[in-house]
Structure 1
């Protein structure tokens, strides 16, 4: 029994870098999550584009009161709609119509518009709450605005519904985490199984070429991830009525290009890890890190600024954008072309890097 114990320790220490990484991975992940969720003493203020078509005293008061709770920025309607519907940097924009201040002074009710992106349900709810706080602040100042004389009309800029169900909100993040775990872990450990089974040496001298064989094997994992994601979305559509976007082609490309960098990341992990034992914790660490930074666990806007700045460098951010666009925003292929091209570029980079690392490591054996 003692001999077996010692032998297992020796096998574990054989891959020194893998052992060091297994010790450091939990510390790095815990630090990353703590920094993302609790790294700042103050919550970041929500950006609220304000379209001031009134230019009166009542409109100025609203903007001033909003500034105590959020980050209101006055701009044109076109720019406000772009921030909400195209760039998705703001959950909603407030439009103060012409004549708003005059109607306030006359004691008449007025209507304001809230241009929303229901895909960001949490952000829209935050904006609604902030507007209620503005009413209370105005009441404290004994302003007529506090007398419930303002009506709010919501306009959805990214779809045909003002509200999204909670399961629709959760599907993109949960679905991507499942695909990451399934594809990255099986790819990383599966390639190392080739060496354990003694087939890696034969692949190195195969007439078809080492790279082609590795790419063919990687293609199976890529296809598996694509089918799993498609099946998940199809099940959600049939059982829960979740939207699958305006066209089958768009859905197919999203599944294809989301699975591509996932398989590439698995190959990178296989190239970095020195053994199957170290490949598993490294794969899990990669999944957790990419998921946390990419917004699979929480909205990007609540992350600290430094994490938001590096998020586009992680393919999970682009994958989350693509999933949200097709499930919650019903965007067309033309509207999603930049996101899909970003996934294609990151997938190509990861597969190329993984192929170089994996070939370099096993060519030395």
Structure 2
């Protein structure tokens, strides 16, 4: 028994050493995911990321508004942009990165506080970036409380030394109210509106590794590819046929996930549910092409899953499938532009949450298909060269 155990352990060790990719992935895979998560979510645990941009429209120009702006300038993770037009502030929120929220200080805010009323700052928010909005609103809410407390302390001092006739007026409470950055959209969203497409894309990528990369190794080991080549079928044609079949499977997989998400979790499908097929087609094509790339660079059957899963998970995480892109540092957001997951999530968010028309998904589709075409060309060239 002990001899059998020892011989088996030796054999497994030899197999592991013979495939350095598997050995490398045992350490590389967790390091990649830890690195991506650490840089992306570091700001939640007190780390310093690139600051958010906060457009501010000051229509009050009073003592209260001046105090608010001065306090906001002292926030290390906020970069203020002073504007004159509320419409421009809304546009920046809805169309620009790192700008999840904008503030308008209405005319008469200072006077309203002094008169004992309850004025409200207007916050234009992007519901897609609800996590970032909540984080900034916590600071704004604390700022409003400080302004109110300071005004009341000043009034209390005046009351204590008050000698003139008439009753003094206590300052009112300063707060804020949310409004959508885009007319007609909601200011809060169902969390599953982001989780369903995000994790659906993740498992679509992993599924392509199983359906393309692993089966290509199996067919090569079983001699299936050789027999088809002998019959006159070109390798390129065989690869395109397999990719097309898995491309269709990927589309069906995503459609079923959205149907389940709608039935179980009440996700919104946007103004035109059929428009969700636009980004679905793009990511299915790119994922299938990526599966071919992994198959072409893996050295053995057992190295496909470690490599494929690591690439898939890292691409999904960096591309905004697991958390908002605004959490990521600048260099990671630039890297995300070269990943199909980034553009696909942008399209799903625009269609499902921002209620944009189908045309909003066309540019992300072009970017996704372009990246997928690069994957496809590289995978075919590499795979054909290995099987000539």
What's the TM-score once normalised by structure 1's chain length?
A: 0.88
CA distance in 2, matches of 1:231, 1:194: 29
Consecutive unaligned residues of structure 1, counting only runs of 5 or more, are none
Could you give the per-residue CA deviations for residues 129-181 of structure 1, whole angstroms, max 9, x where no partner exists?
12211123324543789954335332223453222223334223222222222
Matched, 1:37 2:41: yes
Could you give the per-residue CA deviations for residues 250-295 of structure 1, whole angstroms, max 9, x where no partner exists?
1211211121111111111011101111111110110121122112
Matched, 1:46 2:70: no
Cα displacement (A) at 1:23: 4.5
Paired residue for 1:270, among 295, 307, 320? Answer: 295
CA distance in 1, matches of 2:117, 2:191: 37
Instruction: Please give the residue correspondences for 1:325-364 in structure 2 after superposition, counting only pairs within 5 Å.
Output: 325-363=350-388
Structure 1's 99 and 23: CA in aligned 2 closer, same or farther, altered over 3 A? closer
> What SS does the corresponding residue of 1:152 show, helix, strand or coil?
strand
- CA contact 2:113–2:172 (8 Å) conserved in 1: no
Could you give the per-residue CA deviations for residues 311-347 of structure 1, whole angstroms, max 9, x where no partner exists?
1112211122122222322221122222222112112
Structure 1's 85 and 34: CA in aligned 2 closer, same or farther, altered over 3 A? closer
- CA contact 1:22–1:282 (8 Å) conserved in 2: no
Q: Which residue of 1 aligns with 2:339?
A: 314
Paired residue for 1:25, among 26, 29, 48? Answer: 29
> What SS does the corresponding residue of 1:142 show, helix, strand or coil?
helix
> What SS does the corresponding residue of 1:93 show, helix, strand or coil?
strand
Consecutive unaligned residues of structure 2, counting only runs of 5 or more, are 156-169
Q: Which residue of 1 aligns with 2:181?
A: 157
Root-mean-square deviation (CA, aligned residues, Å) is 2.8
Structure exhibiting the larger radius of gyration computed from Cα positions: 2
> What SS does the corresponding residue of 1:120 show, helix, strand or coil?
helix
CA distance in 2, matches of 1:248, 1:298: 24
Instruction: Please give the residue correspondences for 1:109-148 in structure 2 after superposition, counting only pairs within 5 Å.
Output: 109-139=118-148, 141-142=150-151, 147-148=171-172
Q: Which residue of 2 aligns with 1:71?
A: 79
Q: Which residue of 1 aligns with 2:94?
A: 85
Q: Which residue of 1 aligns with 2:65?
A: 59
Could you give the per-residue CA deviations for residues 48-89 of structure 1, whole angstroms, max 9, x where no partner exists?
221223344432221221233333322343432222212353
CA distance in 2, matches of 1:68, 1:204: 69
The total of aligned residue pairs comes to 363
